[in-house]
Chain A
Amino acid sequence: MNVKDAVCPFCGCLCDDIEVEIEGDRLVGVTNACELGATKFLGGERLKSPIRREGKAWKEISYDEAIRYAADMLLDAERPLLYGWSGTHGEAQCVGVHMAELVRGVIDNTSSVCHGPSVLAIQEVGHPGCTLGVVKNRADLLIYWGSNPIDAHPRHLSRYTCYAEGFFLENAFRDRKVVVVDVRKTQTANIADEFVRVRPGGDYAILSALRTIVRGKTDTIPRMVAGVTRDQLIRVADLCLNAKFGAVYFGLGLTMIPGKYKNIRNAIELVTELNRHTKFTISAMRGHYNVYGSNEVNTWMTGYPFAIDFSRGIAFYNPGETTAVDVLARKECDAALIVGSDPAAHFPRRCIEHLAEIPVVQLDPYPNATTAFCKVQIPVAVTGVDAEGTAYRMDGVPIRTRKVLSSDYLSDEEVLSRMYALMQEALKR
């Protein structure tokens, strides 16, 4: 049996034109997806049942026992951390926020280590963004800044930008110009009309130089700025000024370097500047398929997009203090619930050393690096494969992922709801 228009649960592109082939209870073929998406659909060896660590061994346990352990762990903790959330659907994220409020914990999502700084910049100067559809149909200039979609978002170029048909462009492929700004000559750089190779850490200076040129103060620019010639900067500024509709897509190349959110702020302000001359937009290349959703859900439930601390009984937000890396590095939390992410693989070692010292429960279909630090891991269904739920695309468009396969695994939402019910019951007593 073939299922059309399945939604890919890998990256923020959330491609909704995937065709999957099902044979019995197995997914055997994937069409239209990139290599990343196809591998995610086809899956690997999942954990068969919940597991519990006992000394130096692992023991299989029942869902009831695992869920009871997780609920008790959060109830017993003084300062629990509830982290992850980008690899699951919005309905599960909602339960997570309720749960964090109930136990006065800290809830943070993976955006604090990807586009958290972008959110901070947007809170300062706003977000002149638009949906991917507008860019697809109108943009004649694309700027990929500190992002490498060919490796990280392989279908971004073919579905939404360079290689996509555009309703208002006669020959989209020929008419669109591409600028890539990066410290590495990535594969994406190879398809650029103009590749700007910045010296590491020089992005802020380049953005400032471009703003200066756009403002007509070119004479004040030195011959070289952060490894880039003035002539090239003038060429890039001209491309921007002569575009009918320009779109900047920036990646972690701007958020993970010194300057952090100030780099993004400068990029947004360049786009604001360009909007005095032509139409320009800027958006983040969001990584996890529902990391945008975790920001949305947290914002409409608590007022803040990530790093929310309920210890005061109200939502408190202070990135740098209430963000997961900081909470762990300061050895502050005394229990951790991890959902839909793998901090042991993606956090600095000091954070992981603290995970080894506290009780950890993880909801994840697969054994991963964080499994090694768990007291209990509960396998769940994969959203978009054997569970359905809402996810937000990188441009903020909510898309309902589909369940294309039946399995006995519970979804994140089901496991979390059962945990939450136990916790509510215990607190009533």
Chain B
Amino acid sequence: MKFLMNTGRTVNQGVTVENKGSVEYAREASTCFMHEFDMLELGVDDGDPVLVRGPVGEVVMRVKASVEVEIGTVFVPYGPYANHIVAADTHSTGMPDFKSHEVEIEPTDEEPKLVYELMEDLGGLAYER
């Protein structure tokens, strides 16, 4: 299904932001908040993994029901998961479209990666595992 992906700050993201190697940070930044009706249509429950495909790649997140988001949209806390699929175009402003990306979401059996795994996929070397 197609969705409009929005990203932003959450308290839990802010609390764990100085500890990016933690499971808590990975859990928060890989959460895809979705309207319950969309979850029904997609056939997923709270905590199920979903494959989110954006214009420059795909990443596995976990879905969570939210009364805050509108049908047809998803919200993902700022972080390396959302940015894994965000395009770098800035339309000559310096600012990418962090809050408005069309994504395709489908259920998956894969598990979300940890932050260091995502970084190693992009050519980095994790300091701590």
Residues of A near any B CB (own CB < 8 A): 10, 35-36, 39-40, 43-45, 51, 53, 56, 58, 108, 112-113, 116-117, 120, 148, 150-152, 154, 183-186, 197, 200-201, 252-253, 255-258, 260-261, 287, 306-307, 319-321, 323-326, 328-329, 342, 344-353, 355-357, 366-369, 371-373, 377
Bound Cα distance from A108 to B95, whole angstroms: 12
User: Could you count the A-B residue pairs with CB atoms below 8 Å apart for me: how many are there?
Assistant: 189
Residues A357 and B83 in contact, CB atoms below 8 Å apart: no
Bound Cα distance from A323 to B100, whole angstroms: 20
Residues B80 and A345 in contact, CB atoms below 8 Å apart: yes
Residues A350 and B99 in contact, CB atoms below 8 Å apart: no
Residues B95 and A148 in contact, CB atoms below 8 Å apart: no
Closest 5 CB pairs of A and B: A323-B94, A372-B124, A356-B123, A320-B92, A329-B88
Chain B, residue nearest A306 (CB) = B94
| Chain B residue total in the interface (Cβ 8 A) | 55
Chain A, residue nearest B118 (CB) = A369
> Which of B10, B88, B98, B127 makes the CB contact (< 8 A) with A252?
B98
B87 interfacial by beta-carbon distance below 8 Å: yes
Tell me which residues across on chain B come within 8 A of A151, comparing CB atoms.
8-11, 14
> Which of A35, A45, A117, A183 makes the CB contact (< 8 A) with B6?
A183
Residues A184 and B83 in contact, CB atoms below 8 Å apart: no
Bound Cα distance from A35 to B11, whole angstroms: 8
Query: DSSP class of B's interface residues: helix, strand, loop or mixed?
Result: loop
> Which of B10, B93, B122 makes the CB contact (< 8 A) with A319?
B93
Chain B, residue nearest A40 (CB) = B18
Bound Cα distance from A372 to B120, whole angstroms: 7
Residues B92 and A257 in contact, CB atoms below 8 Å apart: no
Bound Cα distance from A218 to B110, whole angstroms: 53
22 residue pairs bridging A and B, Cβ less than 8 Å apart: A10-B14, A39-B16, A43-B18, A45-B19, A56-B125, A151-B10, A151-B11, A184-B6, A258-B100, A261-B93, A287-B9, A320-B91, A320-B94, A326-B88, A345-B80, A347-B88, A348-B83, A349-B85, A366-B19, A367-B127, A372-B126, A377-B127
B residues 102-116 near A (Cβ < 8 Å) are 115-116
Bound Cα distance from A352 to B125, whole angstroms: 13
Tell me the smallest distance from the CB of B80 to a CB of chain A, in Å.
5
Tell me which residues across on chain A come within 8 A of B40, comparing CB atoms.
none
Residues A319 and B92 in contact, CB atoms below 8 Å apart: yes
> Which of B18, B92, B95, B100 makes the CB contact (< 8 A) with A201?
B100
Most buried by A among B6, B14, B80, B127: B14
> Which of A184, A200, A253, A371 makes the CB contact (< 8 A) with B127?
A371
Chain A, residue nearest B77 (CB) = A151
B49 interfacial by beta-carbon distance below 8 Å: no
Tell me which residues across on chain A come within 8 A of B11, comparing CB atoms.
35-36, 150-151, 154
Tell me which residues across on chain A come within 8 A of B19, comparing CB atoms.
44-45, 366
